[in-house]
Amino acid sequence: MARNSVGKEKNKAGVFQWFLVIVIPLLFAIVLAIIILSVAGVDVKKHAENYANNVPFISGIVTTNDEKIYEQQQEKLNDQLKEKNEEIRQLNGQIQAKDGTIDDLNAEVDQLNEELTQQTQANEDRDELVQEIATSFKEMDPEAAAPIINSLDNELSLLILKSVSSQERGQILSEMAPEDAAQLTNNLLN
């Protein structure tokens, strides 16, 4: 049993010795070759990169200048893409804000149109009423119509006087006090 353990130790030492005998001189020869080639003007690094780039598994570790330039360009393009995406996001936000403003303004326009329609309808109703009242005053005697028109508010008095004919208007104004008739006449002219 003692012999087996001594034999195994010899095998282990033998493998280590072979490793030292082969690897160390090989590394020394490679380093010496690199120094000699560099002194001779050969670009060893470039040739090593090209060769290593063609070897599987090592090509993933070693990068050439072209690959570095490509990666830098790719990073630059990615940065530009991020900037443009951010700009697009900001512009989309502005579009949404403008759309909101447009919707608000459209709602305001609709409301104003509704108010205008209501006001127009109210004016038409008032004009019809004034026409009916004016027809009543046309049929009245000027002596009876003058005090009634004089007691109405100024705007309604003017509307009624505008609705009657010039002859009837003159007869009604002639039955009023001169100051009141002059004021209504001035208001009719303005």
The better pLDDT of the pair 179, 49 is held by 179
The pLDDT of residue 60 is 66
Fill in the amino acid letter for 60: G
Q: How far apart are CA 60 and CA 53, in angstroms?
A: 8
Whether the Cβ atoms of residue 130 and residue 156 lie closer than 8 Å to each other? yes
Nearest-10 crossing angle of helices 166-174, 154-163: 130
Provide the percentage of residues in the chain whose pLDDT is more than 70.
Answer: 88
What global pTM score does this model have?
0.44
Band of the pLDDT at 9, cuts 50, 70, 90? Answer: low
Per-residue pLDDT tens for 60-80?
Answer: 666 666 777 888 999 999 999
pLDDT of 96 above 70: yes
Structure tokens at 118: 């209501």
Q: What is the mean pLDDT of the chain?
A: 84
Q: Which residues of 57-90 are buried (b: 16+ CB within 10 A; e: fewer)?
A: eeeeeeeeeeeeeeeeeeeeeeeeeeeeeeeeee
Per-residue pLDDT tens for 138-187?
Answer: 788 888 888 888 888 888 888 888 888 888 888 888 888 888 888 888 88
Structure tokens at 61: 């570790």
76-82-86-88 Cα dihedral, nearest 10 degrees: 90
Provide the percentage of residues in the chain whose pLDDT is more than 90.
Answer: 28
| Residue ranges of domains in the chain | 6-62, 68-128, 140-190
Whether the Cβ atoms of residue 79 and residue 64 lie closer than 8 Å to each other? no
Structure tokens at 105: 């303004």
pLDDT of 101 above 90: yes
